[in-house]
Structure 1
Amino acid sequence: MGRWEPDAESRFRAAAIELFGEIGYEQTTVAAIAERAGLTARTFFRYFADKREVLFNGSERLQQTMVDALAQAPAEASAVDALAAALTKAGDFFDDDRRPFARMRSTVIAANTDLRERELIKLATLSAALAQALRERGVGEPDASLAAEAGIAVFRVAFAQWVGESERRSYGEIVKESLARLRALVAS
């Protein structure tokens, strides 16, 4: 098994998601993932702390991308418009090539209590980071936290739609539609 094979991280991710789908998350071992990827378990741990991180690796990059987009929104942008910029920028992570992985990831997480808890922690951490970025833009409390939580709600709803089996629209299209719906609800 090659130690320095090209694209090892992607190979581990693909092998893990295949195994999670075939035999379940709980039954999948790091050794099985490594074998399926044609690499070693030792190499696996260079990329991931454990098998759970195959599903959550990249959360920090997503969070930083969204926080940066919010911070770079025009100074005159409202809190909701700054959040819209962050949500739209998240679309960079959700292209059509990643949709099959994202669909399986959602299925695996939904089937496992510990993974659902980890997903909620990730979303709470993202909400706190967005709220902090809004506070840094001068949005006071509780408005910053309320806007960030609303942004996370839009993120979750849009993502759930995007990974739907029959969905063909881009994540960005769904976010725009979801934001428009939220604005209409608030206005009524």
Structure 2
Amino acid sequence: MARWQPGARERLVLAAVDLFAEHGYDATTVTQIAERAGVTKSTFFRHFPDKRELLVAGQDTLSRLLTEGITEAPEGATPLAAVAAGLERASNAMGPMNRELGPRLKAAIAASTELQERDALKSVGLSKAMTEALQARGVPPPVAHLAAELGLLAFKQGYTAWTSVEDNSDLATHTQAALEDLKAATESLT
């Protein structure tokens, strides 16, 4: 095995997502994931406590980037403008590996109830982080929660669009467009 080859964490995530899609979450073992990634089982456990945690790999980083963008938005920015700043910060940190992972991750989640539940919890966590960042800016709780949910939906829609096209566009372009579409949609509700 290529024991000291860099990128073990990323290879583990890609291997797991592929195996979950091919064989199902329940039928996939940690040993299979480690072998597919070209690492030892102990290397797997240095990066993840168990295979469930592979799905939320990067959630802490994503939450941090979203909240940093919201926190650092200009003073006086509207709640959605602050969310847009968070989306831009997080989107700009996403690279080719994130783009490649999208369709594979979607297939793996679709094939497993447990992964669907884990993905839903991830969404709740991201929304909560954005809501708290908005409230720290003085945004009232109902408005903060609504803006955060729109931001989460924009991120999901933008990510899906980004991973569905084969061009040189960046994720930020797609998340900002999705947020603008959602903003327009909310104006038609009144």
State the TM-score, normalized to the length of structure 2: 0.88
3-state SS of the aligned residue for 2:76? coil
Query: How far did residue 48 of structure 1 move?
Result: 0.8
Query: How far did residue 128 of structure 1 move?
Result: 1.1
Residue aligning to 1:175: 175
Question: What is the identity, as a one-letter code, of the residue corresponding to 1:101?
Answer: L
Is the CA contact 2:19–2:28 (under 8 Å) kept in the aligned structure 1? yes
Distance 2:10 2:180 in 1: 35
Q: Aligned pair 1:140/2:137, yes or no?
A: no
What's the C-alpha RMSD, in Å, of the aligned pairs? 1.9
Question: What is the identity, as a one-letter code, of the residue corresponding to 2:107?
Answer: T
Question: What is the identity, as a one-letter code, of the residue corresponding to 1:153?
Answer: L
3-state SS of the aligned residue for 1:163? helix
Query: How far did residue 37 of structure 1 move?
Result: 2.5
Matching of residues 10-159 of structure 1 within 5 Å: 10-159=10-159
Distance 1:9 1:103 in 2: 19
Question: What is the identity, as a one-letter code, of the residue corresponding to 2:35?
Answer: E
Task: Could you tell me which runs of 5 or more consecutive residues in structure 1 were left unpaired when the two chains were aligned.
Answer: none
Distance 1:58 1:97, change over 3 A: closer
Query: How far did residue 148 of structure 1 move?
Result: 1.2
Query: How far did residue 2 of structure 1 move?
Result: 5.5
Residue aligning to 1:186: 186
Query: How far did residue 81 of structure 1 move?
Result: 0.1
Distance 1:160 1:77 in 2: 27
Distance 2:98 2:61 in 1: 15
Is the CA contact 1:161–1:167 (under 8 Å) kept in the aligned structure 2? no
Distance 1:96 1:47 in 2: 21
Question: What is the identity, as a one-letter code, of the residue corresponding to 1:170?
Answer: D
Distance 1:51 1:73, change over 3 A: same
Higher mean displacement: 56-65 or 27-36 = 27-36
Distance 1:175 1:2, change over 3 A: closer
Distance 1:75 1:19, change over 3 A: same
Higher mean displacement: 53-62 or 65-74 = 53-62
3-state SS of the aligned residue for 1:74? coil
Query: How far did residue 167 of structure 1 move?
Result: 5.4
State the TM-score, normalized to the length of structure 1: 0.89
Distance 2:80 2:161 in 1: 21
Higher mean displacement: 133-142 or 33-42 = 33-42
Distance 1:32 1:159, change over 3 A: same
Distance 1:101 1:56 in 2: 13
Is the CA contact 1:103–1:163 (under 8 Å) kept in the aligned structure 2? yes
Distance 1:98 1:129, change over 3 A: closer
Is the CA contact 2:24–2:112 (under 8 Å) kept in the aligned structure 1? no
The count of corresponding residues between Structure 1 and Structure 2 is 187
